[in-house]
Amino acid sequence: MNMGATILVAEDEPLMRERLLEMLAQSWPEARVVLVAENGNDAWDGFLEHEPDVAFLDIRMPGLSGLEVAERIGTMAHVVFVTAYDQYAVDAFDAGAVDYLLKPVQRERLERAVARLQAKLAQQVAQTPADGAAMGELLRHLKSALPGMRQERTRWIRASVGRQVRVIDVDEVLFFQSDTRYTRIVLRDYEALVRTPLKDLLSTLDPERFWQIHRATVVNVNAIQAAERLDAERMQVLVKGSEEKLPVSRTFVHLFRE
């Protein structure tokens, strides 16, 4: 029975992060931590790169919150929240959608969480659509109840276009794409570059209107003309007002299922 699970840890408090990593090494020595993130943006970007089996997420982090990262993960991994919100967390998480650890993390409580994760992984128990629906309901409750979890969304972006600095209405953007140290912003009539990394820009965009379809690409839903299947696992998106065809990574193919 292989318990060599891969783990992502996202925690912005250095002492809490080191404590959790140390306790995980003792409680689950067979597991391998593939990414340690100090904010939600790096956590989500790293999740797409490493595709870990388990994610330990602090609820409140800079950039994307742990709740927002969990929404994006959906049923692709088992999630354990790390939270300082005592009573409400106990009431909400006891519904069983995901596990949780209260700060400061206690070794006995972590060991119970690890045992549950090991049992699920040993039985190859994947997250199901029902699990995803339960987590979605939990996240909605937590977002509405916990203070300061709602984030302002970007409406305008200042970007360089030749010698000009333009103020771009995000509604007019067709898609965003990573371009080495910059983010490329493509509109119908022109394109622009900003120094803000895509993973940071993503945390300020409305996820209902801007879909991430690849680690390097975020598309305006209103600009999607069609999603085209290339083979059993690959798709690409055709965009109104652009001749470019945008690849859809395996992680995001579910967005286009009927």
Question: Tell me, what amino acid is at 61?
Answer: M
Query: Strand pairing partners for 211?
Result: 219
DSSP letter for each residue of the chain? -----EEEEE-S-HHHHHHHHHHHHHH-TT-EEEEEESSHHHHHHHHHHH--SEEEEESS-SSS-HHHHHHHHTTSSEEEEEES-HHHHHHHHTTSSSEEEESSPPHHHHHHHHHHHHHHHHTT----HHHHHHHHHHHHHHHHHSTT---PPP-EEEEEETTEEEEEEGGG--EEEEETTEEEEE-SS-EEEESS-HHHHHTTS-TTTEEEEETTEEEEGGGEEEEEE-SSS-EEEEETT---EEEE-GGGGGGG--
CA distance 204 to 200: 7
DSSP letter for each residue of 158-191? EEEETTEEEEEEGGG--EEEEETTEEEEE-SS-E
The owner of tokens 């007002």 is: 241
Given this model, what pLDDT does residue 2 score? 47
Mean predicted confidence (pLDDT) in 79-96: 70
Which is more confidently placed, 113 or 144?
113
Given this model, what pLDDT does residue 94 score? 59
Confidence of residue 129 (pLDDT cuts 50, 70, 90): low
According to DSSP, the β-strands at 54-58 and 78-83 are parallel
Count Cβ atoms below 10 Å from residue 90 Cβ, excluding itself.
12
Given this model, what pLDDT does residue 3 score? 58
**Would residue 58 be called left, alpha or beta, if left means φ above 0 and alpha means ψ between -120 and 50 degrees?**
beta
Position 154 pLDDT exceeds 90: no
Asked if 85 and 60 count as a contact pair (C-beta separation under 8 A), the reply is no
Mean predicted confidence (pLDDT) in 124-153: 66
Given this model, what pLDDT does residue 17 score? 96
Given this model, what pLDDT does residue 194 score? 93
pTM summary value = 0.84
The tokens describing 194, both together, are 């900003």
Given this model, what pLDDT does residue 140 score? 73
Mean predicted confidence (pLDDT) in 140-164: 76
Mean predicted confidence (pLDDT) in 105-123: 92
Which is more confidently placed, 188 or 146?
188
The domain made up of 6-145 is a member of CATH 3.40.710.10: no
The domain made up of 156-256 is a member of CATH 3.40.50.970: no
Q: What percent of the chain has pLDDT over 70?
A: 86
Listed by start position, the domains of the chain span 6-145, 156-256
The tokens describing 59, both together, are 């609820």
Which is more confidently placed, 150 or 31?
31
List pLDDT tens digits, range 60-85.
899 998 989 998 998 899 999 998 87
Cis peptide before 197 (omega within 30 of 0): no
Given this model, what pLDDT does residue 51 score? 95
**Mean of per-residue pLDDT scores for the chain:** 87
Mean predicted confidence (pLDDT) in 3-12: 91
Position 257 pLDDT exceeds 60: yes
